[in-house]
Amino acid sequence: MSEASLSATALVARRDLTFAKKGLLWALLSGALWGANGVILGLALNRQPFAGSPLWLLAPLTLAGMHDVISGFWNLLYNWRTGRLREIGRSLFTRPGLMVCLGALFGGPVGMGSYLIGLNLAGPAYVLPITSLYPAVAAALAMIFLKEKIVARAWFGLALCVCGVAVIGWAPPESAPGPMFFLGIGIAALATLGWGAEGVLSTSGMDLLDPAVALNIRQLISGCTYLLVVLPLAGGWSMLGQAVFSEAAPLLCLAAGLGACSYLCWYRGMNMTGVSRAMACNVTYALWGILFSALFTDTEITANLVAGALVILCGMVLVVGNPREMTSLRKTA
């Protein structure tokens, strides 16, 4: 239908729908890029100084810290190119900016640190299914704090996404639970909460901040906290010096670049289409990860992986649902 023949209301509705669909595309792209990022980070972890390191906590935390710092520099470059550099300073000391900073701490050091400690104390068989709950936690928090509208069908879809991620990540327990098992489970739950809270806090900040700027703040705050607080607590910077000049460094730079793009798409997606939908699209990273692993590494495609991927896909379709529901994301006063 031509634009001239449509009523103003229909044109507004069409414009809103296009905006929301664009948000969905950003969120989907974030999943694909995060899948590629995971594969490359996996390759970096298999090289010196990370491969076979006896420092079970320090090695992955160093990698995570370097990832966020380098990713923050990629974001800086983007913001410089697009004329948003000054916005970072302006945004940092506003209340929405502080929400983003808090989200950075929850999603970065708290989320990742807890995940790694949980993995060590309770094992992946239990920790991966628990942490895969983070999109559902984010949706619940978004419904409570952002008044996001989430229908019953979307909850069912989110449950499917969580199951799909759990199926893909699940591995049978290798040994009987140790004495710290329940502590590990509790810490894994903290990681889930941290990742869920990041989405909601950042989205709340992005109500009044540009997503690209919010993300830059997130990466730099998270990266600096890793470097200045988390690494000294976890054993120091010894591995950092080795990693900077190692064969893993170029891979890490590439992964951080993909990570920066993925996060940018994810933040835009959350801002444009809501936390629950963006999360459901973002968890397709597990599906993309399988595809990229099969293409670029010698990972075997098992029935578990295919089943998990299909379940995620069905869940995502249910969460996205009717695009017309996306034009008004929240219950208003």
Partner 1 sequence: MFGMHPPLRFMVARLLAEGRAGRVDELMRSLEPLYGGEKQFTRRNLEEHLQALKAVGIVEIAETSRDSAGDLAYSYRISETGRKLMARLTRT
Q: Which residue's entry shows tokens 């980070």? A: 41
Q: Does 19 bind partner 1 (CB under 8 A)?
A: yes
Residue 144 binds partner 1 (CB under 8 A): no
93 binds partner 1 (CB under 8 A): yes
Residue with tokens 């950075």: 104
The nearest distance, CB 146 to partner 1, in angstroms, is 8
Q: How far is CA 253 from CA 45, 88, 229, in A?
A: 13, 22, 22
Six-digit token string for 227: 């470097």
333 binds partner 1 (CB under 8 A): yes
Residues 253-312 that bind partner 1 (CB under 8 A): 271-272
Range in contact with partner 1 (rule: CB under 8 A) among 26-34, 205-213, 221-229, 288-296? 205-213
Least separation in angstroms between residue 227's CB and partner 1 is: 25
Measured between alpha carbons, how far is 217 from 101 in angstroms, rounded to an integer?
Answer: 7
324 near partner 1, judged by CB under 8 A: no
Closer CB to partner 1, 169 or 198, in the complex: 198
Which residue type does 75 have?
N
The strand pairing partners of 148, in sequence order, are 330
Tell me the closest approach of the beta carbon of residue 272 to partner 1, in angstroms.
6
The 3-class secondary structure across 45-109, one letter per residue, is HCCCCCCCCCCCCHHHHHHHHHHHHHHHHHHHHHHHHCCCHHHHHHHHCCHHHHHHHHHHHHHHH
How many helices and strands (H and E) does the chain possess? 16, 0
- Residues 20-59 close enough to bind partner 1 by CB under 8 A: 20
Residue 311: closest CA among 286, 294, 332: 286
User: Which is closer to partner 1, CB of 87 or CB of 198?
Assistant: 87
Q: Which is nearer to partner 1, 187 or 213 (CB)?
A: 213
Which residues contact partner 1 by CB under 8 A? 3-4, 8, 11-12, 15-16, 19-20, 82-84, 86-87, 89-91, 93-97, 146, 206-210, 213, 271-272, 327-330, 332-333
